[in-house]
Structures are given as structure tokens and as C-alpha cells.
Structure 1
């Protein structure tokens, strides 16, 4: 029976070849080829292994983050992805509601369901329809932006500009409102991130469209009297920022379909409860 305890022939072959290269001072036995020709296969194997490892780690995506200079396009892509997740969340929420409705027919459960349904409309969970106002804000045109070098902040719409319009519409009696077709509720926050505005964790690029249902004359009067909007209109006149106001006799606004759970900060290392001897 042949002895298989020693190295296999092909392994012994390349190992002996490398030892011969080292022993001969960098030259193969067969002639004048330099030592690197013997080591080239090993280099190719290592390079291939590194390539495969990088491809698996990347998972088909770019490992070099931060190369994107088209922030509006990136924001739009993120918004589309989050819209898909929101649609999935709505489907799951509908399934949960259906299961909840079948849990109990007790008087207490039915009363709680009636109270919840009654609170949906003022909470902004139901669609709204009626006469209203549409206001659109936009950044300055590219031609103006290319000619201004002193303060580029004057060329873009900021979160405080959107908030000023929203507050003025509420003060004018608005009963329902959307920004970028997202229903504004009590937990809605508006934040600037780069040259985009984040609403309900979704980034949006300009133009920003605000729609409100309510008494149109009162809302327009409140908008015209707002000092904060007056500052924005000065930038409109100086830098050609977008400003458009339209009255619509029949606006249809969707209900809020996101999470209604409240998030709040807690002290680091604590449970979030106040001590009994608070003052």
C-alpha cells in the first residue's frame, strides 16, 4: 500500500520549487528566470482572495461613502425607499387593526374603540377635504446662485421659513395641513439637513409645497401679517426665491399614516422617572 503520510506530490512540488529559488539566490534551477516568476502564482492567489473578500463585504454596494454630490437625487432615492417602508407599515397596521377589532365584543372594548375613532379626525389620522390654500417655497434659480458669493444662506429655503408659513396658517384657522403631501400632526418636526428638509424622517428637496384646509381669507390674512414671512419675502425680492400662493376651492389631504408612538429623551444611566422629592 502506498504511503500517504507525507506531503502530496503537487504540494511537495511547489514547496520544493520555492526552496530551490531561495537556495539559488533568486534564480530557478532551469535557467535565467528571476525568482519573482516562481512567486507570481502565489501573488495572484492572494490578490484574488482579497478581491473576493472585498466583493463579499460590500454586498454589491459602494464601500467608499461620501462620493455623492447629487444630494437632491440621493434624498429622492431615500424618500422612495422610505415611502415603500411606510406602505408596508400601513399594511401591517391595517392587519393589526383587523385583529384588534375581533378580540372582544365587550361593552368596554366597544366604548374604547368609539373614543379612539372620535379622536382620529382631530389627531390628523383621517383624510380632510375642503377649501384651502397652497403655498410653495423654492430655492433661488441656478443663475442667481452662480452670481452670489457673499452669503449663500440667503439663496435657500430654511426650516424656519417653512415653520413660519405653517404657524401662520394654523393661526389663521387651518383645520388640516400637509407638507410635501405628508400630514402635519402634533408630533411633526421640521429639520434642515444639508440642503434638504427632513419631515417624519424622510428627506425632501425643494420646492416645498404646503397645503392647508380652512377659512381661506383668514389664513391669507394671517400669512400677510406674519413678520417672519415678511423677512422671507425680502429674500424673495432680493434673490428670487420661490413664493407662490394659490387658493383652491376643493383640497383633498391624506390622513397621517405613520407611527403615533411618542419618543422622548431620558437621563443617561437612569430610568427616566423623577425622584419622589422633586422640587
Structure 2
């Protein structure tokens, strides 16, 4: 008769503990954390891909915008250059016409009969109106943009440019010093002349001028007399503070062209009408 072997119940419990040492709740929690980590990694990868796509699109838009701006600037530069060429051509044509008008006036003066008292008086009026050529001794005031910054420029190069008010000051100073005729870069100053700025350009008689600006006047002892005017002191102050170039030179012989005048209200009186 054989004797059966009995199994201790505690051994089964020990085996169960050995097989599943971790509590089921801990295992469930570990699986959840692992799942969340995997999902986070996937979301991170997707986010990086999305961010890369957004950056790439942004860069494409920026590059396209820069390219279009460059194209627009190129078109604007071309238009500006074309306008400059047209203005230069127009000014050149106007100067040629003015030279032709002056040549014809000189021919008319040479063909005119000898002067009579009335004509002599007319000649004096013509000189006062800047309608005739002026010659004689005088002085020139040369104004140039600043080559270096002055004490008050504060790094702004625009403060070193000659302004229309500077040229007006030079002209007024020459008149105050006793000048009988004044011209700026060959543009005769009359009662109808305008000295003004248009952007960075300075217009005299509606002609654009550039540095250096030569303001010439006819008169005796004009250089020394101009140096004593308040206008000359103002220009010297601008030269000291903003670096403008101001030169006052004496000239033994100057020739100033006549102004191109257009009669607005007056009319030419014929000799027969003048005798009546």
C-alpha cells in the first residue's frame, strides 16, 4: 500500500507570490505611464514635424517677400533714374533755348540805332530789372556741403548740407553790401527770382543746382563790405558749427548773364506811341 504525498498549501501561496511579485495595480499604473510616454513621444515627433513645416513656410514667405521687395525697389530705382534723365534733358534743352535767346538779344542790340535819351533811360531800367548783361568788378561767395561733421551735426549728415536759406542769406548780404547785380551759378537774380528747396535739391529760377554754389555779385569793394554784414557772420557761424564751406573771394572781372524775364502786365511801347 502506497502512501500519497501531501502538498503544503503555503507552498502554493509562495509560488503565486514568486510568479507575480508586483501588485496588479502597480502593473496597471506602469502600463499606463508607459502608454502615456509613448503617446508623448509621438506627439513630440508630430509637433517637431509641424514646427519644421511652419518654419519652412515662414522662410518661404519671407524669401518671397524679400524677392518681391527687391523687384519693386529695382522698378522704383529704374523709374527714378528715368525721371532724372528726363529732368536733365529738359534742363539742358531749356539752357540751350536760353542761350539762343541771349544770342538773339545781343544781335538785336548790335543792330539797334545809336542810343537816344529815351533809349539810354530804357537801358538803365533794363539793367535794374536784370534784363541785360552785367559786367564789372565784384566778389563771389562759394558755399559747399560739409566734408566733415561740424560740432553740432551729431552724426546727422543732412545738417552739413547747404540750405536754400544759406543761399538766400548770401544773396541778401551781397545786396546789403551794395551789389548792383547778383547771380547764382549763372542764374541771374531779379525781382521775380525764387530760391527754394525741393527735397534735397535747391532750385533757383526753377533750375536745380548742386554744391558748390557760386553766388556772384558786381560792386566796388564788395568782398570787404560783404564780410562786415550780419549775413556773412551767420554763414561763418554755420561753417563753424556744421562744417559748411564758405569762401569769400574778390574778383577783378565778372560777367553776369541777363535773367529770362517774361512780361506779365507791361507791354512794349512803340516809338510812335512814345512820342504821343
Q: TM-score, normalised by structure 2?
A: 0.55
Q: C-alpha distance in 1, partners of 2:262/2:185?
A: 19
More displaced 10-residue stretch of structure 1: 232-241 or 163-172:
232-241
Q: C-alpha distance in 2, partners of 1:154/1:117?
A: 44
Q: C-alpha distance in 2, partners of 1:93/1:134?
A: 23
| RMSD, aligned α-carbons | 3.9
Q: Output one character per residue of 1:151-191: Cα deviation in whole Å (capped at 9) or x when no partner.
A: 44421111111111111110111001110111111111100
Q: C-alpha distance in 2, partners of 1:95/1:216?
A: 33
The answer to whether 1:221 aligns with 2:225 is: yes
Pick from 140, 148, 151: which aligns with 1:134?
Answer: 140
Cα pair distance change 1:89/1:230, threshold 3 Å:
closer
- In structure 2, the partner of 1:84 is 93
Pick from 189, 192, 197: which aligns with 2:194?
Answer: 189
Shift of residue 116, structure 1, vs aligned partner: 4.8
Shift of residue 262, structure 1, vs aligned partner: 4.5
Q: Output one character per residue of 1:201-222: Cα deviation in whole Å (capped at 9) or x when no partner.
A: 11111111000000225x5334
Q: Specify every segment of 5 or more residues in structure 1 that has no aligned partner in the other structure, as ranges.
A: 1-62, 100-109, 264-279
- In structure 1, the partner of 2:53 is none
Larger-gyration structure (1/2)? 2
Pick from 115, 128, 131: which aligns with 1:125?
Answer: 131
Q: C-alpha distance in 2, partners of 1:64/1:157?
A: 31
How many corresponding residue pairs?
A: 185
- In structure 2, the partner of 1:205 is 210
Question: 1:154–1:235: 8 Å Cα contact kept in structure 2?
Answer: no
Shift of residue 131, structure 1, vs aligned partner: 0.9
Q: Specify every segment of 5 or more residues in structure 2 that has no aligned partner in the other structure, as ranges.
A: 1-73, 109-115, 266-276
Pick from 223, 243, 253: which aligns with 1:250?
Answer: 253
The 5 Å alignment of 1:144-183 reads 144=149, 149-183=154-188
Q: Output one character per residue of 1:29-66: Cα deviation in whole Å (capped at 9) or x when no partner.
A: xxxxxxxxxxxxxxxxxxxxxxxxxxxxxxxxxx9455
SS in 2 for 1:186: coil
Q: Pick the structure with more helix per residue.
A: 2
Q: TM-score, normalised by structure 1?
A: 0.54
Question: 2:149–2:155: 8 Å Cα contact kept in structure 1?
Answer: no
Question: 1:191–1:198: 8 Å Cα contact kept in structure 2?
Answer: yes
